[in-house]
A and B are shown apart, each in its own frame.
Chain A
Protein backbone atom coordinates (compact mmCIF):
# COMPACT_ATOMS: atom_id res chain seq x y z
CA UNK A 1 0.00 0.00 0.00
CA UNK A 2 1.44 3.37 -0.96
CA UNK A 3 0.39 6.68 0.47
CA UNK A 4 1.54 9.93 -1.04
CA UNK A 5 1.61 13.08 1.06
CA UNK A 6 2.75 16.58 0.30
CA UNK A 7 6.03 17.13 2.08
CA UNK A 8 7.65 20.54 1.92
CA UNK A 9 9.68 21.09 -1.21
CA UNK A 10 9.45 17.91 -3.18
CA UNK A 11 6.22 17.24 -5.01
CA UNK A 12 5.26 14.37 -2.80
CA UNK A 13 6.70 11.71 -0.62
CA UNK A 14 5.24 8.34 -1.32
CA UNK A 15 5.66 5.89 1.49
CA UNK A 16 5.30 2.18 1.25
CA UNK A 17 3.29 1.13 4.26
CA UNK A 18 3.81 -2.44 5.17
CA UNK A 19 3.70 -4.15 8.51
CA UNK A 20 4.80 -7.50 7.21
CA UNK A 21 6.52 -8.99 4.20
CA UNK A 22 4.76 -7.76 1.05
CA UNK A 23 2.18 -10.09 -0.46
CA UNK A 24 3.55 -11.90 -3.51
CA UNK A 25 0.79 -10.77 -5.85
CA UNK A 26 3.05 -8.90 -8.25
CA UNK A 27 4.63 -10.82 -11.10
CA UNK A 28 7.67 -9.01 -12.46
CA UNK A 29 8.51 -9.06 -16.15
CA UNK A 30 11.16 -11.59 -17.16
CA UNK A 31 14.54 -11.11 -18.82
CA UNK A 32 15.24 -13.07 -22.02
CA UNK A 33 16.89 -15.85 -20.03
CA UNK A 34 13.94 -16.14 -17.66
CA UNK A 35 15.19 -14.16 -14.67
CA UNK A 36 12.65 -11.96 -12.86
CA UNK A 37 13.59 -8.46 -13.96
CA UNK A 38 15.06 -6.04 -11.45
CA UNK A 39 16.67 -4.10 -14.29
CA UNK A 40 16.73 -0.36 -14.39
CA UNK A 41 17.80 2.70 -12.48
CA UNK A 42 16.95 2.74 -8.77
CA UNK A 43 17.42 5.12 -5.89
CA UNK A 44 17.68 4.16 -2.25
CA UNK A 45 17.73 7.76 -1.01
CA UNK A 46 15.91 7.74 2.29
CA UNK A 47 15.14 9.72 5.42
CA UNK A 48 15.09 6.49 7.42
CA UNK A 49 18.18 6.13 9.59
CA UNK A 50 20.14 2.88 9.73
CA UNK A 51 19.61 2.64 13.47
CA UNK A 52 16.41 3.47 15.28
CA UNK A 53 16.50 6.70 17.29
CA UNK A 54 16.73 5.69 20.95
CA UNK A 55 13.59 7.56 21.93
CA UNK A 56 11.50 5.33 19.64
CA UNK A 57 12.39 2.23 21.63
CA UNK A 58 10.90 -0.87 20.02
CA UNK A 59 8.53 0.99 17.70
CA UNK A 60 9.32 -0.57 14.36
CA UNK A 61 6.78 1.23 12.15
CA UNK A 62 5.34 4.68 11.83
CA UNK A 63 1.81 5.20 10.60
CA UNK A 64 1.91 6.73 7.12
CA UNK A 65 1.08 10.11 8.61
CA UNK A 66 3.82 9.82 11.23
CA UNK A 67 6.26 8.80 8.48
CA UNK A 68 5.39 11.85 6.41
CA UNK A 69 5.76 14.12 9.43
CA UNK A 70 9.13 12.58 10.25
CA UNK A 71 10.30 13.02 6.67
CA UNK A 72 9.18 16.64 6.70
CA UNK A 73 11.18 17.25 9.86
CA UNK A 74 14.32 15.65 8.42
CA UNK A 75 14.12 17.46 5.10
CA UNK A 76 13.48 20.86 6.60
CA UNK A 77 16.15 20.73 9.27
CA UNK A 78 18.52 23.61 8.96
CA UNK A 79 21.68 23.80 10.96
CA UNK A 80 23.06 27.12 11.93
CA UNK A 81 26.82 27.34 11.51
CA UNK A 82 28.91 30.15 12.85
CA UNK A 83 31.31 31.95 10.57
CA UNK A 84 34.93 31.01 11.21
CA UNK A 85 34.06 27.56 12.55
CA UNK A 86 35.08 24.28 10.96
CA UNK A 87 31.42 23.43 10.47
CA UNK A 88 31.18 26.41 8.18
CA UNK A 89 33.96 25.21 5.92
CA UNK A 90 32.05 23.38 3.21
CA UNK A 91 29.88 24.28 0.23
CA UNK A 92 26.15 24.80 0.27
CA UNK A 93 24.91 21.38 -0.94
CA UNK A 94 21.72 22.85 -2.37
CA UNK A 95 23.73 24.85 -4.91
CA UNK A 96 24.45 21.55 -6.59
CA UNK A 97 21.10 19.84 -6.03
CA UNK A 98 22.62 17.45 -3.55
CA UNK A 99 20.26 17.75 -0.59
CA UNK A 100 17.68 15.03 -0.02
CA UNK A 101 15.00 17.69 -0.22
CA UNK A 102 15.94 18.16 -3.86
CA UNK A 103 15.89 14.50 -4.83
CA UNK A 104 13.49 11.63 -5.03
CA UNK A 105 13.07 9.73 -1.78
CA UNK A 106 12.22 6.06 -1.65
CA UNK A 107 9.82 6.35 1.25
CA UNK A 108 8.79 3.72 3.74
CA UNK A 109 7.15 3.61 7.16
CA UNK A 110 9.94 1.89 9.05
CA UNK A 111 11.56 3.77 11.88
CA UNK A 112 14.98 2.34 11.03
CA UNK A 113 16.57 0.33 8.25
CA UNK A 114 17.60 -2.30 10.78
CA UNK A 115 14.59 -4.47 11.52
CA UNK A 116 13.44 -6.02 14.78
CA UNK A 117 12.61 -4.79 18.27
CA UNK A 118 16.02 -3.19 18.85
CA UNK A 119 16.55 -1.70 15.40
CA UNK A 120 20.24 -1.13 16.13
CA UNK A 121 23.55 -2.77 15.31
CA UNK A 122 24.14 -5.32 18.10
CA UNK A 123 26.94 -4.95 20.59
CA UNK A 124 30.43 -5.60 19.33
CA UNK A 125 32.32 -8.53 20.85
CA UNK A 126 35.06 -7.36 23.24
CA UNK A 127 37.83 -8.75 21.04
CA UNK A 128 36.40 -6.90 18.05
CA UNK A 129 36.08 -3.65 19.97
CA UNK A 130 39.69 -4.08 21.02
CA UNK A 131 40.79 -4.83 17.48
CA UNK A 132 39.15 -1.67 16.16
CA UNK A 133 40.36 0.45 19.07
CA UNK A 134 43.93 -0.73 18.52
CA UNK A 135 43.71 0.23 14.88
CA UNK A 136 42.44 3.71 15.75
CA UNK A 137 45.07 4.11 18.45
CA UNK A 138 47.87 3.21 16.06
CA UNK A 139 46.71 5.97 13.73
CA UNK A 140 46.25 8.56 16.45
CA UNK A 141 48.56 11.49 15.89
CA UNK A 142 49.38 10.15 12.42
CA UNK A 143 46.10 10.90 10.72
CA UNK A 144 47.75 13.00 8.03
CA UNK A 145 51.16 11.38 7.75
CA UNK A 146 50.43 9.87 4.38
CA UNK A 147 47.68 8.47 2.15
CA UNK A 148 47.48 5.15 4.03
CA UNK A 149 46.56 7.04 7.19
CA UNK A 150 43.48 8.50 5.56
CA UNK A 151 40.20 6.60 5.36
CA UNK A 152 39.29 4.25 2.53
CA UNK A 153 36.77 6.76 1.22
CA UNK A 154 39.27 9.58 0.98
CA UNK A 155 41.66 7.22 -0.83
CA UNK A 156 38.87 6.45 -3.32
CA UNK A 157 39.21 2.73 -2.61
CA UNK A 158 35.85 1.89 -1.08
CA UNK A 159 32.93 3.96 0.18
CA UNK A 160 30.71 3.04 3.13
CA UNK A 161 27.50 3.16 1.13
CA UNK A 162 28.76 0.47 -1.27
CA UNK A 163 28.88 -2.41 1.16
CA UNK A 164 27.63 -4.94 0.78
CA UNK A 165 25.23 -4.32 2.35
CA UNK A 166 24.42 -1.39 0.07
CA UNK A 167 23.24 1.55 2.15
CA UNK A 168 21.97 4.98 1.15
CA UNK A 169 24.52 7.71 0.57
CA UNK A 170 23.77 11.32 1.43
CA UNK A 171 23.36 12.15 -2.23
CA UNK A 172 23.77 10.49 -5.63
CA UNK A 173 22.26 7.49 -3.93
CA UNK A 174 21.50 5.68 -7.14
CA UNK A 175 22.30 2.39 -8.75
CA UNK A 176 21.85 0.68 -12.09
CA UNK A 177 20.99 -2.98 -12.53
CA UNK A 178 21.59 -4.78 -15.82
CA UNK A 179 20.81 -8.47 -16.16
CA UNK A 180 22.36 -10.69 -18.83
CA UNK A 181 22.53 -14.41 -19.32
CA UNK A 182 23.38 -15.90 -15.94
CA UNK A 183 24.47 -12.61 -14.35
CA UNK A 184 23.13 -9.61 -12.49
CA UNK A 185 25.29 -6.49 -12.47
CA UNK A 186 24.72 -3.81 -9.87
CA UNK A 187 26.54 -0.55 -10.39
CA UNK A 188 26.39 2.04 -7.62
CA UNK A 189 26.82 5.66 -8.63
CA UNK A 190 29.34 6.29 -5.86
CA UNK A 191 32.00 5.34 -6.47
CA UNK A 192 31.10 3.68 -9.75
CA UNK A 193 32.05 0.18 -8.71
CA UNK A 194 30.11 -2.60 -10.37
CA UNK A 195 29.24 -5.88 -8.70
CA UNK A 196 29.04 -8.73 -11.19
CA UNK A 197 26.93 -11.43 -9.57
CA UNK A 198 26.60 -14.87 -11.18
CA UNK A 199 23.19 -16.43 -10.62
CA UNK A 200 24.22 -20.07 -10.87
CA UNK A 201 24.88 -20.52 -7.15
CA UNK A 202 28.48 -21.53 -7.81
CA UNK A 203 31.04 -22.08 -5.05
CA UNK A 204 32.81 -19.08 -3.59
CA UNK A 205 36.36 -18.13 -4.46
CA UNK A 206 39.25 -19.92 -2.83
CA UNK A 207 39.61 -18.53 0.71
CA UNK A 208 43.07 -17.23 -0.12
CA UNK A 209 41.53 -14.65 -2.49
CA UNK A 210 40.12 -11.76 -0.47
CA UNK A 211 38.46 -8.76 -2.08
CA UNK A 212 37.35 -5.34 -0.84
CA UNK A 213 33.81 -6.21 -1.95
CA UNK A 214 34.15 -9.86 -1.10
CA UNK A 215 32.93 -12.48 -3.54
CA UNK A 216 29.23 -12.43 -4.39
CA UNK A 217 27.33 -15.45 -5.65
CA UNK A 218 23.62 -15.37 -6.39
CA UNK A 219 20.70 -17.67 -7.06
CA UNK A 220 16.98 -17.14 -7.58
CA UNK A 221 14.38 -18.26 -5.07
CA UNK A 222 11.14 -17.65 -6.89
CA UNK A 223 11.13 -13.95 -7.65
CA UNK A 224 13.83 -13.13 -5.12
CA UNK A 225 17.52 -12.86 -5.99
CA UNK A 226 19.53 -14.12 -3.04
CA UNK A 227 23.15 -12.96 -3.01
CA UNK A 228 25.70 -14.50 -0.67
CA UNK A 229 28.98 -12.65 -0.11
CA UNK A 230 32.11 -13.86 1.65
CA UNK A 231 35.89 -13.52 1.07
CA UNK A 232 36.14 -9.98 2.39
CA UNK A 233 39.52 -8.49 3.24
CA UNK A 234 40.24 -7.61 6.85
CA UNK A 235 40.65 -4.00 5.75
CA UNK A 236 37.10 -3.68 4.36
CA UNK A 237 36.04 -3.13 7.97
CA UNK A 238 32.35 -2.56 7.28
CA UNK A 239 31.40 -0.85 10.55
CA UNK A 240 34.42 -2.55 12.09
CA UNK A 241 33.93 -6.00 10.58
CA UNK A 242 36.67 -8.62 10.18
CA UNK A 243 37.50 -10.80 7.18
CA UNK A 244 34.85 -13.22 8.41
CA UNK A 245 32.10 -10.85 7.38
CA UNK A 246 29.24 -12.66 5.67
CA UNK A 247 26.42 -10.74 3.99
CA UNK A 248 23.25 -12.19 2.50
CA UNK A 249 21.12 -9.85 0.41
CA UNK A 250 17.70 -10.29 -1.14
CA UNK A 251 16.29 -8.33 -4.05
CA UNK A 252 12.55 -8.63 -4.75
CA UNK A 253 10.59 -6.59 -7.27
CA UNK A 254 7.40 -5.71 -5.43
CA UNK A 255 5.86 -3.53 -8.13
CA UNK A 256 6.87 -1.81 -11.35
CA UNK A 257 8.53 1.02 -9.46
CA UNK A 258 9.97 -0.73 -6.42
CA UNK A 259 12.59 -3.30 -5.53
CA UNK A 260 12.64 -4.36 -1.90
CA UNK A 261 16.23 -4.69 -0.70
CA UNK A 262 16.88 -6.81 2.37
CA UNK A 263 20.15 -7.85 3.98
CA UNK A 264 21.55 -9.85 6.86
CA UNK A 265 25.02 -9.19 8.21
CA UNK A 266 26.90 -11.70 10.32
CA UNK A 267 30.46 -11.80 11.55
CA UNK A 268 31.20 -14.15 14.44
CA UNK A 269 34.46 -12.27 15.00
CA UNK A 270 32.72 -8.91 15.38
CA UNK A 271 29.08 -9.03 16.55
CA UNK A 272 27.42 -11.22 19.12
CA UNK A 273 24.56 -11.86 16.71
CA UNK A 274 23.64 -11.14 13.12
CA UNK A 275 21.63 -8.09 12.18
CA UNK A 276 19.22 -7.49 9.33
CA UNK A 277 17.77 -4.53 7.53
CA UNK A 278 15.48 -3.67 4.69
CA UNK A 279 14.60 -0.66 2.59
CA UNK A 280 12.80 -0.10 -0.68
CA UNK A 281 14.54 1.12 -3.80
CA UNK A 282 12.46 3.35 -6.06
CA UNK A 283 12.64 3.58 -9.80
CA UNK A 284 14.46 6.70 -10.92
CA UNK A 285 15.41 8.23 -14.23
CA UNK A 286 18.80 7.33 -15.69
CA UNK A 287 21.49 7.59 -16.71
CA UNK A 288 24.06 7.28 -13.99
CA UNK A 289 26.87 9.71 -14.64
CA UNK A 290 30.49 8.69 -14.24
CA UNK A 291 32.03 9.02 -10.79
CA UNK A 292 35.76 8.74 -11.42
CA UNK A 293 36.82 9.19 -7.80
CA UNK A 294 40.54 8.42 -7.97
CA UNK A 295 40.98 10.40 -11.19
CA UNK A 296 39.44 13.54 -9.64
CA UNK A 297 40.93 13.15 -6.19
CA UNK A 298 42.44 16.60 -5.67
CA UNK A 299 41.26 16.32 -2.08
CA UNK A 300 43.89 13.82 -0.96
CA UNK A 301 46.76 15.96 -2.22
CA UNK A 302 45.17 19.11 -0.78
CA UNK A 303 44.65 17.54 2.64
CA UNK A 304 48.22 16.29 2.90
CA UNK A 305 49.49 19.62 1.64
CA UNK A 306 47.40 21.43 4.25
CA UNK A 307 48.78 19.20 7.00
CA UNK A 308 52.36 19.83 5.90
CA UNK A 309 51.68 23.59 5.89
CA UNK A 310 50.23 23.42 9.39
CA UNK A 311 53.24 21.50 10.67
CA UNK A 312 55.57 24.00 9.11
CA UNK A 313 53.64 26.90 10.66
CA UNK A 314 53.74 25.23 14.11
CA UNK A 315 57.44 24.48 13.78
CA UNK A 316 58.32 28.08 12.96
CA UNK A 317 56.51 29.43 16.02
Chain B
Protein backbone atom coordinates (compact mmCIF):
# COMPACT_ATOMS: atom_id res chain seq x y z
CA UNK B 1 0.00 0.00 0.00
CA UNK B 2 1.57 3.24 -1.03
CA UNK B 3 0.89 6.64 0.39
CA UNK B 4 1.48 9.31 -2.13
CA UNK B 5 0.81 13.00 -1.94
CA UNK B 6 -1.34 13.91 -4.89
CA UNK B 7 -2.94 17.12 -5.96
CA UNK B 8 -5.71 17.99 -3.56
CA UNK B 9 -8.08 18.53 -6.47
CA UNK B 10 -9.08 14.89 -6.53
CA UNK B 11 -10.48 15.04 -3.02
CA UNK B 12 -11.35 18.67 -2.54
CA UNK B 13 -12.12 20.26 -5.89
CA UNK B 14 -9.29 22.33 -7.28
CA UNK B 15 -9.42 25.96 -8.11
CA UNK B 16 -8.74 25.50 -11.79
CA UNK B 17 -8.69 22.90 -14.51
CA UNK B 18 -6.57 20.14 -13.04
CA UNK B 19 -3.13 20.30 -14.56
CA UNK B 20 -3.00 16.52 -14.59
CA UNK B 21 -5.71 16.58 -17.22
CA UNK B 22 -3.46 18.32 -19.70
CA UNK B 23 -2.21 14.95 -20.81
CA UNK B 24 -3.50 11.59 -19.88
CA UNK B 25 -0.90 9.31 -18.41
CA UNK B 26 -3.51 6.58 -18.48
CA UNK B 27 -3.45 6.79 -22.28
CA UNK B 28 0.28 6.51 -22.46
CA UNK B 29 1.23 3.85 -19.90
CA UNK B 30 -0.11 0.43 -19.02
CA UNK B 31 -0.95 -0.17 -15.33
CA UNK B 32 -0.61 -3.86 -16.11
CA UNK B 33 3.06 -3.47 -16.97
CA UNK B 34 4.88 -2.33 -13.84
CA UNK B 35 8.62 -1.89 -14.19
CA UNK B 36 11.51 -1.39 -11.81
CA UNK B 37 14.58 -0.15 -13.61
CA UNK B 38 18.07 0.44 -12.36
CA UNK B 39 20.44 2.21 -14.67
CA UNK B 40 22.84 4.99 -15.53
CA UNK B 41 21.57 8.38 -16.62
CA UNK B 42 22.77 9.35 -20.08
CA UNK B 43 20.87 12.62 -20.33
CA UNK B 44 18.13 14.60 -18.62
CA UNK B 45 15.94 16.78 -20.81
CA UNK B 46 14.95 19.78 -18.69
CA UNK B 47 11.90 20.58 -20.77
CA UNK B 48 8.19 21.10 -20.49
CA UNK B 49 5.48 19.96 -20.17
CA UNK B 50 7.48 17.02 -18.75
CA UNK B 51 11.12 16.40 -18.10
CA UNK B 52 12.58 13.25 -19.56
CA UNK B 53 15.38 11.18 -18.08
CA UNK B 54 17.27 8.95 -20.47
CA UNK B 55 18.52 5.82 -18.78
CA UNK B 56 20.78 3.01 -19.92
CA UNK B 57 19.55 -0.19 -18.30
CA UNK B 58 21.60 -3.38 -18.48
CA UNK B 59 19.45 -6.47 -18.62
CA UNK B 60 20.25 -9.85 -17.07
CA UNK B 61 21.54 -10.90 -20.49
CA UNK B 62 24.00 -8.03 -20.47
CA UNK B 63 22.14 -6.18 -23.21
CA UNK B 64 21.81 -2.43 -22.68
CA UNK B 65 18.43 -0.85 -23.37
CA UNK B 66 17.94 2.89 -23.54
CA UNK B 67 14.83 3.91 -21.58
CA UNK B 68 13.00 7.24 -21.48
CA UNK B 69 11.47 8.14 -18.11
CA UNK B 70 8.71 10.77 -17.96
CA UNK B 71 8.93 13.17 -15.01
CA UNK B 72 7.49 16.48 -13.92
CA UNK B 73 7.98 20.02 -15.14
CA UNK B 74 11.49 21.10 -14.12
CA UNK B 75 10.60 24.74 -13.47
CA UNK B 76 10.16 24.38 -9.71
CA UNK B 77 13.54 22.65 -9.54
CA UNK B 78 15.14 25.54 -11.40
CA UNK B 79 13.51 27.93 -8.97
CA UNK B 80 15.11 25.98 -6.14
CA UNK B 81 18.50 26.54 -7.67
CA UNK B 82 19.00 23.24 -9.45
CA UNK B 83 20.61 23.46 -12.89
CA UNK B 84 21.11 21.14 -15.82
CA UNK B 85 24.15 19.60 -14.10
CA UNK B 86 22.08 18.42 -11.14
CA UNK B 87 21.50 14.96 -12.61
CA UNK B 88 24.72 14.36 -14.51
CA UNK B 89 25.37 11.64 -17.04
CA UNK B 90 26.60 8.55 -15.21
CA UNK B 91 24.41 9.01 -12.13
CA UNK B 92 22.81 5.75 -11.03
CA UNK B 93 19.10 5.85 -10.35
CA UNK B 94 16.25 3.45 -9.68
CA UNK B 95 12.89 4.03 -11.33
CA UNK B 96 9.56 2.45 -10.45
CA UNK B 97 6.73 3.02 -12.87
CA UNK B 98 4.74 1.51 -15.66
CA UNK B 99 5.78 0.76 -19.22
CA UNK B 100 4.38 2.49 -22.29
CA UNK B 101 1.30 0.92 -23.85
CA UNK B 102 2.98 0.70 -27.22
CA UNK B 103 5.65 -1.50 -25.71
CA UNK B 104 8.51 0.92 -26.27
CA UNK B 105 11.25 1.45 -23.68
CA UNK B 106 9.45 4.28 -21.98
CA UNK B 107 7.99 4.54 -18.46
CA UNK B 108 6.57 7.11 -16.09
CA UNK B 109 8.88 8.01 -13.22
CA UNK B 110 6.42 7.33 -10.42
CA UNK B 111 9.14 6.96 -7.86
CA UNK B 112 12.73 7.82 -8.70
CA UNK B 113 15.57 7.38 -6.23
CA UNK B 114 19.31 7.49 -6.34
CA UNK B 115 21.08 4.16 -5.95
CA UNK B 116 21.48 4.90 -2.23
CA UNK B 117 17.74 5.28 -1.75
CA UNK B 118 17.53 9.09 -1.55
CA UNK B 119 14.57 10.52 -3.42
CA UNK B 120 15.30 12.43 -6.59
CA UNK B 121 16.04 16.14 -5.96
CA UNK B 122 13.26 17.11 -3.58
CA UNK B 123 12.13 13.96 -1.90
CA UNK B 124 8.59 13.70 -0.58
CA UNK B 125 7.01 16.06 1.90
CA UNK B 126 8.97 16.42 5.06
CA UNK B 127 12.06 14.91 3.56
CA UNK B 128 14.34 17.73 2.47
CA UNK B 129 11.57 19.96 1.13
CA UNK B 130 12.88 23.51 0.88
CA UNK B 131 11.61 26.58 2.72
CA UNK B 132 8.90 28.44 0.87
CA UNK B 133 10.34 31.13 -1.34
CA UNK B 134 9.62 34.68 -0.22
A302 → B minimal CB distance (Å): 5
Of A154, A171, A305, the contact of B73 (CB 8 Å cutoff): A171
On chain B, the residues within 8 Å of A309 by CB distance are 101-103
**A139 interface residue (CB < 8 Å to B):** no
B32 → A minimal CB distance (Å): 7
Q: How far is the CA of A100 from the CA of B133 in the complex (A)?
A: 12
On chain A, the residues within 8 Å of B29 by CB distance are 89, 306
Asked if A91 meets B129 with Cβ closer than 8 Å, knowing A96-B71, A153-B22, the reply is no
Q: Which B19-62 residues sit within 8 Å CB-CB of chain A?
A: 19-32, 34, 45, 47-52
Of A9, A48, A296, the contact of B129 (CB 8 Å cutoff): A9
Binding site for B on A (CB under 8 A): 8-12, 46-51, 53, 74-75, 77-86, 88-105, 113, 144, 151, 153-154, 156, 159-161, 167-172, 189-191, 284-285, 288-293, 295-300, 302-303, 305-310
Of A104, A113, A303, A307, the contact of B132 (CB 8 Å cutoff): A104
A99 and B131: CB pair below 8 A? no
A256 → B minimal CB distance (Å): 12
| Chain B interface size range | 35 or more
Asked if A153 meets B51 with Cβ closer than 8 Å, knowing A89-B31, A98-B76, the reply is no
On chain B, the residues within 8 Å of A49 by CB distance are 12-15
B71 and A77: CB pair below 8 A? no
On chain B, the residues within 8 Å of A94 by CB distance are 5, 119, 122-125, 129
A36 → B minimal CB distance (Å): 23
Asked if A299 meets B49 with Cβ closer than 8 Å, knowing A98-B76, A169-B19, the reply is yes
Of B3, B19, B45, B74, the contact of A78 (CB 8 Å cutoff): B3
A93 and B6: CB pair below 8 A? yes
B127 → A minimal CB distance (Å): 8
B2 and A101: CB pair below 8 A? no
B76 and A306: CB pair below 8 A? no
A298 and B50: CB pair below 8 A? yes
On chain B, the residues within 8 Å of A78 by CB distance are 3-6
Of B5, B8, B101, the contact of A310 (CB 8 Å cutoff): B101
Please name 17 pairs of A and B residues whose Cβ atoms are closer than 8 Å in the assembled complex, sorted by A. Answer: A10-B132, A11-B131, A53-B12, A80-B1, A80-B2, A81-B6, A86-B25, A89-B25, A95-B123, A96-B121, A97-B121, A99-B5, A169-B16, A172-B76, A289-B79, A291-B49, A293-B49
A9 and B126: CB pair below 8 A? yes
Q: How far is the CA of A298 from the CA of B6 in the complex (A)?
A: 23
B132 → A minimal CB distance (Å): 4
B31 and A96: CB pair below 8 A? no
Q: How far is the CA of A308 from the CA of B124 in the complex (A)?
A: 35
